[in-house]
């Protein structure tokens, strides 16, 4: 069984911008956490921080090992257990490399640490080709494409190469950030099914990010909803979909087109970007958008403007950061 992931008090600041604001979550071994939220809510930054690509405060633990407390070399080795797949496979793959070389980038070296960028002038080492072929088969890619360059591939094929490269490192945790957002709608479902199958077959622990709640719903066991750098609601997928408590979650749900699979898997329908108050303002960050908060109520809902709602446990599994989470939609 792969390791579980625990993230505690994760904060990422870029100058004055707090992109991720003190979030905590855990992903049980072999399960999928869906991270959903509007554009700019901090999903990508959180993901990048988890895999060590963004400067962060807080702790990231694989099982009970805090990666931030390990010495450099050991930390680098442990970080290989977390792999990320990005939205844009075109820029994620080096155009000078063959497919085999792209996948070989992910293979652990004999010493167990990064073997760096393979020399694009040389072919993937002969001893690795068997493993590379295995990985291509795993992602249902024709091994005849081994010597092709990424630009000769379709978007879906390139994303499969990126997945194969991530799997080459034999990760415990896979972080998938909007991996189908730039694919044709017809290919999105195929890649999502592939990811779901690989996750289940390999028992991977996974963070799956999308701004499209219908896609996250399909992929995830648990969902965390982000707004303005924070997690405003999290819980088991079925509970959160059947009984969304935070108005932000309700708004994301309402934006799902109630149509067939083609529309459901498209990126249509999620509106707007984050509108928050000044960073120093007290109160709930969602209040300016909120249909049940101060703007919408005659009683003023003073608490929304005066007090930041901490995530309160409505039950043990389902948490919502809203003073009026139980008020109807």
d(CA 325, CA 289): 15
d(CA 139, CA 186): 17
Positions touching ligand ATP (CB under 6 A) are: 14, 17, 19, 37, 39-45, 211
Q: Can you state the angle between helices 155-168 and 185-202, rounded to 10 degrees?
A: 20
Least CB distance to ligand ATP at residue 188 (A): 16
Per DSSP, 59 falls in state: E
Q: Are 104 and 164 in contact (CB under 8 A)?
A: no
Q: Are 43 and 35 in contact (CB under 8 A)?
A: yes
* Beta carbon nearer to ligand ATP, 238 or 279: 279
* Beta carbon nearer to ligand ATP, 158 or 230: 230
Least CB distance to ligand ATP at residue 43 (A): 4
* Beta carbon nearer to ligand ATP, 211 or 289: 211
- Helix (H) or strand (E) holding 119, with range, is none
- Give 66's Cβ-side CA count (13 Å radius): 8
* Beta carbon nearer to ligand ATP, 139 or 183: 183
SS3 211: coil
Least CB distance to ligand ATP at residue 57 (A): 15
Least CB distance to ligand ATP at residue 138 (A): 28
Least CB distance to ligand ATP at residue 42 (A): 4
Least CB distance to ligand ATP at residue 10 (A): 12
Q: Which of 133, 146, 134 is nearest to 100 (CA)?
A: 146
* Beta carbon nearer to ligand ATP, 17 or 238: 17
* Beta carbon nearer to ligand ATP, 48 or 160: 48
Q: Are 89 and 151 in contact (CB under 8 A)?
A: no
């Amino acid at each position: 069984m792969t390791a579980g992931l625990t993230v505690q008090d994760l904060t990422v600041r870029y100058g004055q911008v707090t992109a991720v604001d003190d979030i905590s979550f855990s992903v049980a071994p072999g399960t999928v956490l869906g991270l959903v939220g509007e554009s700019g809510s901090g999903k990508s930054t959180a993901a990048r921080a988890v895999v060590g690509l963004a400067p962060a405060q807080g702790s990231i633990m694989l099982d009970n090992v805090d990666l931030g407390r390990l010495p450099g070399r050991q930390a680098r080795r442990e970080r290989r257990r977390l792999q990320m797949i990005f939205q844009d496979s075109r820029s994620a793959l080096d155009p000078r490399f063959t497919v085999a070389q792209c996948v070989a980038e992910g293979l652990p070296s004999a010493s167990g640490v990064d073997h760096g960028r393979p020399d694009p002038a040389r072919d993937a080492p002969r001893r690795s080709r068997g493993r590379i072929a295995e990985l291509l088969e795993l992602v249902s890619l024709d091994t005849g494409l081994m010597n092709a360059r990424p630009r000769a591939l379709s978007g879906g094929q390139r994303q499969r190469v990126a997945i194969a490269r991530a799997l080459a490192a034999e990760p415990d945790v896979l972080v998938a950030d909007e991996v189908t957002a730039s694919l044709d709608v017809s290919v999105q479902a195929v890649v999502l099914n592939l990811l779901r199958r690989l996750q289940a077959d390999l028992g991977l622990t996974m963070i799956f990010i999308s701004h499209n709640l219908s896609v996250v719903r399909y992929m995830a066991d648990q969902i965390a909803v982000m707004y303005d750098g924070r997690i405003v609601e999290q819980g088991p997928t079925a509970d959160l979909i059947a009984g969304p408590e935070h108005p932000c979650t309700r708004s994301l749900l309402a934006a799902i087109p109630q149509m067939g699979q083609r529309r459901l898997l498209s990126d249509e329908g999620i509106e707007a970007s984050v509108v928050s108050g000044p960073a120093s303002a007290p109160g709930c960050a969602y209040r300016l958008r909120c249909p049940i908060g101060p703007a919408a109520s005659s009683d003023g809902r003073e608490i929304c403007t005066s007090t930041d709602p901490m995530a309160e446990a409505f039950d043990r599994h389902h948490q919502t950061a809203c003073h009026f989470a139980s008020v109807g939609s």
